[in-house]
Amino acid sequence: MESLLSGLPYVLTSSQRAAVDQILSDLTHPRRMMRLLQGDVGSGKTLVALAAAVAAIDGGCQVAYMAPTEILAEQHTQAFQQQLAGLPISVSLLTRHTSKKAQLQQRVAQGEVNLLVGTHALIQEATTFHDLGLIIIDEQHRFGVVQRSAIEEKGNQADVLVMSATPIPRTIALTLYGQFDVTLLDELPSGPRSVRTLRVDADRRASLYDEVGSMLRSDRKGYVIVPLVEESEKVDANAAVQVAEELRQRFTAHGVGLLHGRMSSEEKGAAMAAFRDGHVRLLVSTTVVEVGIDVQDADFMVIENADRFGLSQLHQLRGRIGRAGQPAVCYALASARTDEAQDRLAAFEQYADGFSIAEEDLRIRGPGDVVGTQQHGYFTLLRAVDLSRDLNLMRQARQAAKETFDRGVPAHVVRRVEERFGDLMRWVRV
């Protein structure tokens, strides 16, 4: 692992170094690691995860790295292959579009692949590992409970590292209950980010795009995000196409690009290259840019119908701008019609860090069911405690429970828990 770190063109932040040390300690401990690595976009989570992967591989295990999109999985694979070029580590990519998939799965099963990066293809029945020792789940809020359970079942008590810039409420609840230890990356390698968030009423849409025109004339670069209209990728794409056509007619002197999920990999790559190179200065996109997109000089964003997005999504989208540390602005264009939407947008405007966003999400939506598959909403099995109100009390209870169980779990306690919760206990380990 030191060979990896010493070959980097930059120095780790102190919080990255501390995170690596914590994870290495976990990996050498007999107790299974269940760790949440929390850090805002640009804090260097991926490098910490790669260091953990190298350490696990050095110990003789295989590593599975699950990413939510093919774009992100491909970027990670290319970056890992470059960063590990001088080490005897085999890195491969597995997605639904991987050619010669059966041959790759056979190599994985035989232990010939050390680090397998992929999407949902990792949890297919045909994908088996020779000795899976570490599971890394990137942007974990994008995966369902059942999906995370499926990847864990690929290994025999494999260590688990989950990463997110915004933990979903259920994750916070599990953290409070002791299921996850938390490592916080509270420094940014590029320095503090300066992103303003402004809510704009829908009836001021025309004047907002006047401001966008001024920014484009100043050679600035930005995104326009179009929300999912229905649970259909086709409708989603059509909405983005309509907005792109509208803005192309309005900003004829500036390049307006388009990116959505129904485009081919080649089309997506070309759209991103044009935006990154400056041939396109305004990119109209669906939430396909939520993760995996890194355009350093993008410094403004308009989120259309922002009230249709969850707080976690809003925070992730905002993370696409100001990535080089430059001042940036995010406009949340919305006409919120419910109290919950009002609260969500107010929190988005007020808070900039991931943990504050997550705790507000917990307050607004309620935690998910700790022993079920529900990702948010109020507990069905817990009656006495309101986690959105009693956070401090829960932290104290968690510490007391940890000190008690560090001394060993009495057999009668294990029996009582299993009797009470039965088959639901399998979800607690997710």
CATH number of the domain where residue 47 is located: 3.40.50.300
| Confidence check: pLDDT of 144 > 60 | yes
Q: Taking the CB of residue 382, how many other CB atoms lie within 10 A of it?
A: 15
Does some domain include residue 375? no
170 in the same domain as 214: no
Cα torsion 315, 189, 295, 210: sign: positive
Geometric angle at alpha carbon 228, from 376 and 202, rounded to 5°: 100
Distances (CA, A) of 30 to 2, 25, 26, 63: 23, 10, 8, 18
pLDDT at 3: 64
Confidence class of residue 244 from pLDDT cuts 50, 70 and 90? very high
One domain, residues 31 and 69: yes
Q: What is the mean pLDDT of residues 99-127?
A: 93
Q: Is residue 360 part of a domain?
A: no
User: Looking at the structure, do residues 175 and 147 belong to the same domain, yes or no?
Assistant: yes
Q: Helix 169-176 vs helix 354-365: angle between axes, to the nearest 10 degrees?
A: 100
Tens-digit pLDDT profile for residues 250-286: 999 899 999 988 888 778 888 988 999 999 999 999 9
Min mean pLDDT across 59-63, 271-275, 337-341 is at: 337-341
Looking at the fold, whether 61 and 166 belong to one and the same domain comes out as yes
**84 and 211 co-located in one domain:** no
Name beta bridge partners: 115: 63, 91
Q: What percent of the chain lies above the pLDDT cut of 70?
A: 81
What is the phi/psi pair of residue 231, to 5°? -75, 60
- Provide the domain count of the chain: 2
The residue with greater pLDDT, 63 or 397, is: 63
Is the domain of 216 the same as that of 304? yes
Higher pLDDT, 235 or 31: 31
Q: Between residues 136 and 366, which one has the greater pLDDT?
A: 136
Last-in-domain residue among 301, 333, 351: 351
Token match 């025999």: residue? 156
- Report which of 422, 382, 347 is spatially closest to residue 174, judged by C-alpha positions: 382
Q: Print the domain residue range for 130.
A: 2-188
Which of 238, 275, 280 minimizes the C-alpha distance to 256? 280
Q: Could you give phi then psi for residue 401, rounded to 5 degrees?
A: -65, -40
Is the CB of residue 228 less than 8 Å from the CB of residue 260?
no
Average pLDDT over the chain, rounded to an integer = 83
Place of tokens 């001394």: 407
Tell whether 224 and 126 lie within a shared domain.
no
CA distance 332 to 318: 10
Domain boundary among 144, 173, 188: 188
Band (371; pLDDT cuts 50, 70, 90): very low
User: Between 371 and 16, where is the model more confident?
Assistant: 16
Least confident of 105-114, 169-178, 343-352, 399-408: 169-178
Choose the weakest-confidence range: 14-28, 226-240, 292-306: 226-240
Query: Of the given ranges (19-33, 242-256, 345-359, 388-402), which has the lowest mean pLDDT?
Result: 388-402
* Other residues' Cβ atoms within 10 Å of the Cβ of residue 429: 15
Per-residue pLDDT, averaged over 391-402, amounts to 74
Q: Which amino acid is at 381?
A: L
pLDDT at residue 310 above 80?
A: yes
